[in-house]
Structure 1
Amino acid sequence: MPVRYEQVHTDPELYLFHDVITDAEIHLLKDIASGKLERSTTRSKTENVTENRVSHTAWLANTSHPVLRRLAHRIAEVTQLFAFRGLHRPPSRGATAGIQSYGIGGFYNTHNDVLYKFLPEDKLNDVRAGGRTAFPEAGIALTPQKGAAVLWFNMKRNGNFNPRTLHGGCPVLLGQKWVANRWIRENANFLRRPCSTDPLA
C-alpha cells in the first residue's frame, strides 16, 4: 500500500504517515472501542495511577476483529517493521491496539515509553483546538490529523534510550481527540533495523 510520509525530526527519529486509515476503518474502530472504554491509568512501581492522564482507553486484541488484524499488517507494511506480534497468541501489549478517547480538558503528562523501541500513533480524528502531541526536548508539537500515523523510535540504534522522545498529549481545548497506539518491540525487529556499534548512533 503506497503511503505518503515525511520525516518530521531526526533526533528523535520521527515520521508522519498520511492517510494510513480510511474513514470506514476509523468508524469501525470507534464503534468497537466505545463499549470497552475505561478510565486510563499509568503504571507506577506499585499501582495504577490516574493523575498523569485524563482520558479513556480500550484495549483491543489484533484477533478481536478483522479491521484490527488488517491495520496491524498495514502498519508493518508502511513502516517495514514487524508490527503484528501475537496475532496467534494470547493478547499482550505487543498484540493489542490501545484506543484512547480524550474529551475537553483531556491530556497526558509528559512521559517516556522505555520498554518499546518504536511507537506508531494513529490519529482517528481532527481536533478543533488543542490536543497536540508535544516533544518538549525536541521542541516540536504535532497537530492531530485524521487518518495519519506518527512513528518515533524510543531507542537509538546503539541500544540506548533516547531521552528526547519525552512526549505528552496537550489538553484538548475544543472537540474530542481519538488516537490508536500500537507498541512495536525492539527484539522483534533486530533484523529489520540492525543495531549499531557506534556509541553515538
Structure 2
Amino acid sequence: MKSLREWQFIVLSILAIAKALDYDERKERYSSSVLGLMKLYELEQQYIKTLQVYAVERNNSILTKYLSSIELNNVNKKSYREREEHVSNILNAFTLIRRTHQDWPKWQKFMKTILNASEMVKLNAIVSQAPDKQDMKEMLENMQRAEKINNLHAVDLVQGRLLHKKYEIRLSMRDCVAIGRHKYEIGDYARALMWYDSASKSTKNEFIDILDDPEADLKQLYAETIKGQKTLEAINISSSSSSSSEIDKFDGNLSKEMTSYHLGCRGLFLPPGKLVCRYNFTTSPFLRLAPLKQEEINLDPYIVVYHDVLHDREIAQMKEEMANAHISNAWIEERKANQSQMRQVIGRVSWLTDSSNFMDSVNQRIMDMTGFSMKGIESLQVCNYGPGCNFKPHYDYMAEGYEPPNILTLGDRLASVIFYASEVHLGGATVFPRLDVAITPKKGAGLVWYNTYDDSTHDQRSQHAVCPTLMGSRWTLTKWVHLSPQMFLKPCRPRK
C-alpha cells in the first residue's frame, strides 16, 4: 500500500504533466522568429508612448527616468529595416523579451499607485500581450545554444561583442542575473559563474524600489553555483577511469563539447579544394539564353550553390504571400503522448499552396536548376528563424521515425532546395557535419543537394543542420524534390 505522501506526489506529478500538455502551442511566441520580435518591438513602443503621456500629466520624475533608460538602449528606429536589424541581434532580442516579461508586471503595480482604474485599462491591455514564462524560457535557451555552439563568453556578450563584431549595446545587471539563473538551473555552472561575475561588474542597478534588487541575492547565487560546480567536478572525478593528467584538465571547460557541427558553426572547416564556378547552360533549354551562376561545393554527394536566382522583387512577393497565408510555429520534433516538456521552436513557417505567378516562377527555376519535375509538389515552405534558433543535425529523407508528408504518393525526398531570402550577418549557416561543409547564407542564392544515391537508397552523408543566428533575420524558401515524379527523368544506377 502506498502512503498518503506517495499518493500526493503521484497526483501532483500528473497535474504538472497535464498542465504542460494543456499549454497552447499556438500561442504567440515572440522569441521564435524575427517576425515575432518585430511585433513585440511595436508593442513596447505603444507601451512607452502610453507611459510618456502619464509621465507628463503626473510630472512623475521616476517614470520619466525609466522611459529615458529604455530609450538609451532601445532607440526608436524609423524605418522597417532599422527595426528589423535591431531585433535580429540576439542581445537586443533577449533584453526585449526579458524587459517586457519581467519588468512590465512590476511597473504595473507602481502605475496603480498613480493612476485610476479607467486609466489602467489601456496599460493592462498592452501588458496582457507580454511574453509569457515559456517565451522567456525559450529565449534563454536560445542564448544558451548560441553561447555553447559558438563558444561565446559572458564578458564579451555583456559589452555587446558577438564573435568578431562589437555592437552598441550593454547588458544590465538584471539581464546578467536572469541568464545566470537559467544556466544554474540547467547545471551549466561554469557559464553561470561567468554571468554572475559579469553581473557584479555590469551597469548600475536602478529602480530597486519598483523592480527588484538582483545585487541583494548575487552573493548567495554565486555561492550556490560554486557548490554545484564542485559537486559536478566530484561526480566526474569519481566516475572517471582516466589518468590523473586527464582529470586535471577538467575545469568546466566551456568548449569541451566539440563536434563537426560546432566546428562548422564556428567557421573552422577547411575550404574545399579544386572545385570550380561556372555558368550552367545545359540543364534546360532555357539556360542557353540565361545561364545560371553555379558554384560547386561538394562532388560526392553533389552539393551546389546557384547565385542570384531569387530576386528582391520575388522576395518581397514571398513575404507578402506569407503574410496572407497561415503562419505557425515550426517544431524540431514531434511530441510523444507521454511527453510533458515543450517542444523546441525553430522559427515561423508558412506553406504557400495557392497557385500564383510567384510560385510558378520559383518552381520553373527549380526545374531549370535541377532538371527535375515539380508535378504534384508545387507547394513551397517559407521560414523565418528567431535569434539563437537552430535546427539540429537531421535528414530530409524518411529516417529515425520521421516520414515526409505524401510519401506514399510522391515517394521519398530525393533532393532538397533552399533559397536564401535575406542576408545573415552572423551565424545561420547550413552545415553538413559528415562532410565538413558549411554554407553561409547569401541573399538570392539557392542551395541544392541530393539525399539519396543513384539507386535511391538513403545517403547518410546528406545529414545537415542550421547554426544559431546571432545577427540577421534568416529567411528561407524550401522545396523538397520527391522521387515518384522523377520516374522517367532520373537514371537509376547501381550504387558504387
Given the two structures, how large is their TM-score scaled by the length of structure 2?
Answer: 0.36
Number of aligned residues: 189
Alignment of structure 1 residues 139-178 onto 2, 5 Å? 139-178=436-475
Q: CA deviation at 1:50?
A: 7.1
Q: Give 3-state SS (helix, strand or coil) of 2:443's partner.
A: coil
CA distance in 2, matches of 1:143, 1:37: 26
8 Å contact 2:292–2:307 — kept in the other structure?
A: yes
Q: Please state how far the C-alpha of 1:37 moved relative to its aligned partner.
A: 2.3
Distance 1:52 1:135, change over 3 A: farther
Which residue pairs with 1:113 in the alignment?
A: 396
* d(CA) in 1 for partners of 2:345, 2:291: 35
- Give 1:66 deviation, angstroms: 1.3
> After superposition, where does 1:57-136 map in structure 2 within 5 Å?
57-61=349-353, 63=355, 65-82=356-373, 84-86=374-376, 94-114=377-397, 115-136=412-433
Matches of 1:190 and 1:110, distance apart in 2: 29
Return the alpha-carbon distance in structure 1 between the equivalents of residues 468 and 342 of structure 2: 15
Structure with the higher helix share, 1 or 2: 2
Structure 1: which 5+ runs fail to align?
Answer: 87-93
Letter in 2 for 1:32: E
| Structure 2 residue matching 1:182: 3-state secondary structure | strand
Distance 1:28 1:151 in 2: 22
Task: For 1:19-30, list aligned pairs within 5 A.
Answer: 19-30=308-319
Q: Structure 1 counterpart of 2:393, which letter?
A: T
- Identity over aligned residues, as a percent? 24
**Change beyond 3 A, Cα 1:7–1:71:** same
Deviations 1:93-150 (A, max 9, x none): x231010001211211111011300111101011010000000001011000111100
Is there any run of 5+ residues in structure 2 with no aligned partner, and where?
Answer: 1-289, 398-411
- CA separation in 1, counterparts of 2:488 and 2:352? 27
Whether 1:41 aligns to 2:334 is no
The answer to whether the 8 A contact 2:333-2:344 is kept is: no
What SS is found at the alignment partner of 1:4? strand
Q: Residue 22 and residue 192 in structure 1: after superposition, are their counterparts in 2 closer, same or farther (change >3 A)?
A: same
Q: 1:42 to 1:103 in 2, by over 3 A?
A: closer
Task: Indicate whether 1:11 and 2:303 are aligned.
Answer: no
Deviation at 1:81, TM superposition (A): 1.2
Paired residues of 1:99 and 1:178 also in contact (CA < 8 A): yes
| Matching residue of 2:291 | 2
- Rate the CA distance shift 1:52–1:138 in 2: closer, same or farther, 3 A: farther
CA distance in 2, matches of 1:181, 1:133: 13
The structure with the largest alpha-carbon Rg is 2
Query: Retained in 2: the 8 A contact 1:103–1:175?
Result: no
Kept in 1, the 8 Å contact 2:332–2:346? The answer is: no
Return closer, same or farther for 1:62/1:134 CA change in 2, 3 Å cut-off: farther
DSSP 3-state at the match of 2:477: strand
Residues 4-59 of structure 1: per-residue CA shift (max 9 Å, x gap): 11221022211111111111001110121134321002454967x97455111000
* More divergent stretch after superposition (169-178 vs 10-19): 10-19
Residues 382, 475 of structure 2: 8 Å contact kept: yes
Q: 1:44 to 1:125 in 2, by over 3 A?
A: same
Of structures 1 and 2, the one scoring higher in RCO (CA 8 A, sep 6+) is 1
The answer to whether the aligner puts 1:193 opposite 2:473 as a matched pair is: no
What is the match of residue 55 of structure 1? 347
**Structure 1 residues 110 and 95, CA gap change in structure 2 (3 angstroms):** same
The root-mean-square deviation of aligned C-alpha atoms, in Å, is: 1.9
8 Å CA contact 1:62–1:97 kept in 2: the answer is no
Higher strand share: 1
